[in-house]
Homo-oligomer: A and B are copies of this chain.
Amino acid sequence: MARTQGSHAGITGPRIRDAALRLFAEHGFAAVSMRQIASTVGLQAGALYNYTPDKQALLFSLMKEHMDDLLGDLAHLPSHDSPLARLEAFVRFHIAFHLERPELVFIAYMELRNLTPENFAVIEGLRRDYENALERILSDGVASGSFDVPDTKLATLAVIAMLTGVTTWYRPDGRLSIPEVQNLYWDMVRKSVSA
């Protein structure tokens, strides 16, 4: 028997994903060629096809893994505290998670229209799951009387849009630290849903 695994496969694969991630985020999926990705990694374009069946699968793989990470980490938040405590945990988590991987956030948001219909449906379903987690918190808070939210569906989308927007302006060397950003957003969210 020969080797069971290629010498570079364990390294080249992630490097390709990383290069694709950066290039897609900077120029957009449609504007990036397989040759650019290969060149960034130091390969010829043909070699990429040892790691992905095609360009579309590369995009989908990045987005799917991102959503799985998001939902996986979300599941670790305490789920039996008060709605207010759970909302605060959600807000702080959402900001920290998104600020840790701005390129992935950008791609998962901007490149939805470049997915095939089947792939789009998968990502959209995961996104819906995430939104539902927040809506559950808001509904529970309304039921217990701690929140005043006339329309939990709209409030869910409003809060997520507001929080995700942080990735468009936050800079690690900027005026505010992540905890400060979390505090400021949490202050606004808390008041916006307060009874």
Does A164 count as interface, using CB distance less than 8 angstroms? yes
In the complex, the chain B residue whose C-beta lies closest to that of A175 is B153
Interface hits, A175-194 → B, CB 8 Å: 176, 181, 184-185, 187-189, 191-194
Does A162 count as interface, using CB distance less than 8 angstroms? yes
In the complex, the chain B residue whose C-beta lies closest to that of A156 is B169
Q: Indicate if the CB atoms of B162 and A158 lie closer than 8 Å.
A: yes
Top 4 closest pairs, chain A to chain B, by CB? A161-B165, A162-B162, A192-B192, A30-B31
Interface hits, A13-60 → B, CB 8 Å: 26-28, 30-31
- Interface size of A in residues (CB-CB distance below 8 Å): 34
Q: When A30-B30, A162-B161 are in contact, do A155 and B188 touch as well, CB less than 8 Å? A: yes
Q: When A168-B157, A184-B151 are in contact, do A113 and B162 touch as well, CB less than 8 Å? A: no
Number of copies: 2
Interface hits, A101-147 → B, CB 8 Å: 110, 113-114
Q: Indicate if the CB atoms of A154 and B168 lie closer than 8 Å.
A: no
On chain B, the residues within 8 Å of A159 by CB distance are 162
A26 to B113 Cα, complex, angstroms = 7
On chain B, the residues within 8 Å of A162 by CB distance are 158-159, 161-162, 165
Q: How far is the CB of A71 from chain B (nearest CB, A)?
A: 20
On chain B, the residues within 8 Å of A185 by CB distance are 154, 158
Q: Indicate if the CB atoms of B184 and A154 lie closer than 8 Å.
A: yes
Does A172 count as interface, using CB distance less than 8 angstroms? no
On chain B, the residues within 8 Å of A10 by CB distance are none
On chain B, the residues within 8 Å of A72 by CB distance are none
Q: Indicate if the CB atoms of A161 and B168 lie closer than 8 Å.
A: yes
